[in-house]
Structure 1
């Protein structure tokens, strides 16, 4: 038997350790370099989307409301992620509340972002496939888009309740003296093993699930990742597949020369979504299936390495959302161009004299008036 587990008695099952040099080095590289780059790009791109909607382009359609909420979810996500990484490296020094709050915020924005993408695909279906029937409905139902977004955020909060309830900060040395089911992947321990059990680092603080009994542990540890795969991937993928398939079929029948561009947009949105999220969710589903199976530690370690790599690919999607959904629209790009120009002018005004500052302010205000007065009330930033 391998020494990568704790051997207590013939009735105990014990967790594998992911402590190999390869796994640790890979995780450290992804967190420090790849995740940091994703967070910086995602924060800049989505913040610009929020600023554009806040100061230049009013939310005039249901898609605009969804895009704004997607950008907010992605910003909160890329803010929570580096805080989680830092807390892991520092042993969750801020205490139990940081463990629950950061993990909870991370999960809420994961669910809400994915569900909002499904809402966008449904709105595009109504706008293109059911254009005549839904025109009056969509133009008069803007207020209901806020209600839909509120329902999405509330649903994400409900799905995250197990994280808020069962995540705790504790020393991994406490695992030795507990009978709680803590880790998912297990190996059978042999009472005949002559090797000394490997003990975890005594003072390392971790933030993970902790339960009072094994029955609750097994239910929650199956429910949480299963919900993530079902609600966070399968449901959005199903909605996007149905809606965008109908959109593609409708566009193929149209004789507008712009249809080829619209088809490329739709296919790009779907393919990028699948490329970013399918590998991670497939690996997560595989981990769920073999979660409580007696298996070799090498098998468990390989699965965890696969999850680490594919999870980074899934994070990349938050950087691509502004490009796929917001900046692809001509009207949105025009508003965004005004953001860049005005920020440049305002930056120069701090260096120049007061006269330059007054001129910049006048240019800023006049540009705001021209943008607000020229926009079509029924326009949308997601132009296809």
Structure 2
């Protein structure tokens, strides 16, 4: 189609997003690769610890285990999403729906489990007597709550799985690369879903956990400061670190997403649209980084968990040494046997020659 035949008053050409696309590819290659590597390593260590070294005995243990599973599923799906985005979603529409759905399920479940952890710590420290009476029913409660969190996250992710599709994006009849994005049959549904999905993500996936964390940890800090104990004051610093890291990682992305949602159906200049999309990409990567920090803040910062982690490293070191020892012993024995055979063979050859 010849763009020269269009007048600027009748049509507005779409924004040129080549520089934004190049920035997105760079973030995917370097930043997201780092997040996948360290997020997978840290959360797998948490799962291994609970599976082989420290059984889940309390509600917090169960929440941490489920949160690690959610983060592992997220970091495993992230490279596949990046691969499909760079190869025109070669896996098709079902991969588009599944990966977008997995992203939302893991987002909601991880954030809601953070709120559950905060509530459990509030009960354990501020409501200590009630916590002692509830101890014998904690695992049953935690399993029910975790199941409810996963089901609720699945329900919230249904619109993303239903309306996300793989299709060829076109501008004024010019075919471009395939994308995985929302696709609708009418404008009313498009406006509803494009506002409902990010609004739900902001409220349920950020502001609700933030309010729960702020309330619970404020009460925890007040309770700990009343107890004149050095260890309790160290716990206050840990609590503050948890809240500060959560706000630093999640708030910039959610504020940018809120601004983008409010201005979604407003006319904007290309430069403004590019700036918003660039900030959205950077803050989204910062939000992804939180899955790498979860194991450090909620698991390895504890003394017992650090001891289990050291035990894992010791066992891996022992297994490595045992493997090297067996391999070296096997090589040594094979060299000895081959040398002996060659020696015996040469002796037999010498004897035969002598007899002949």
Quote the residue 1:75 is aligned against: 72
Quote the residue 2:17 is aligned against: 19
Q: Is 1:224 matched with 2:201?
A: no
What runs of 5+ residues in structure 1 fail to find an aligned partner?
A: 178-198, 357-384
CA RMSD of aligned residues (A): 2.2
Cα deviation for residue 333 of structure 1 reads: 1.1
C-alpha distance in structure 2 between counterparts of 1:311 and 1:332, whole Å: 29
Q: Is the 1:116–1:152 Cα contact (8 Å) retained in structure 2?
A: yes
- Superposition map of 1:141-220 within 5 A: 141-173=138-170, 176=172, 199=174, 202-220=175-193
- Classify the secondary structure of the residue corresponding to 1:223: helix
Cα deviation for residue 212 of structure 1 reads: 0.4
Figure out how many residues of one structure are paired with residues of the other and give that number.
Answer: 326
C-alpha distance in structure 2 between counterparts of 1:93 and 1:325, whole Å: 38
Q: Is 1:234 matched with 2:207?
A: yes
CA 1:350 to 1:18, structure 2 compared with 1: closer, same or farther past 3 Å?
farther
Quote the residue 1:188 is aligned against: none
C-alpha distance in structure 2 between counterparts of 1:86 and 1:65, whole Å: 33
Cα deviation for residue 203 of structure 1 reads: 4.9
- Classify the secondary structure of the residue corresponding to 2:166: strand
C-alpha distance in structure 2 between counterparts of 1:274 and 1:166, whole Å: 30
C-alpha distance in structure 2 between counterparts of 1:8 and 1:205, whole Å: 27
Q: Is 1:122 matched with 2:119?
A: yes
Q: Is the 1:18–1:301 Cα contact (8 Å) retained in structure 2?
A: no
Cα deviation for residue 18 of structure 1 reads: 5.5
Quote the residue 2:335 is aligned against: none
C-alpha distance in structure 2 between counterparts of 1:88 and 1:115, whole Å: 28
Cα deviation for residue 140 of structure 1 reads: 2.2
Quote the residue 1:340 is aligned against: 313
Q: 1:276 aligns with which of 249, 256, 277?
A: 249
CA 1:245 to 1:142, structure 2 compared with 1: closer, same or farther past 3 Å?
same
- Classify the secondary structure of the residue corresponding to 1:293: coil
TM-score by length of 1: 0.81
Cα deviation for residue 9 of structure 1 reads: 9.1
- Classify the secondary structure of the residue corresponding to 1:352: helix
C-alpha distance in structure 1 between counterparts of 2:260 and 2:127, whole Å: 41
Which structure carries more relative contact order (alpha carbon 8 Å, separation 6+)?
1
TM-score by length of 2: 0.87
Q: Is 1:293 matched with 2:266?
A: yes
What are the superposed Cα offsets for residues 313-338 of structure 1, whole Å, 9 maximum, x if unpaired?
A: 11111110011000011111111111
Name the larger-Rg structure: 2
More helix by share: 2
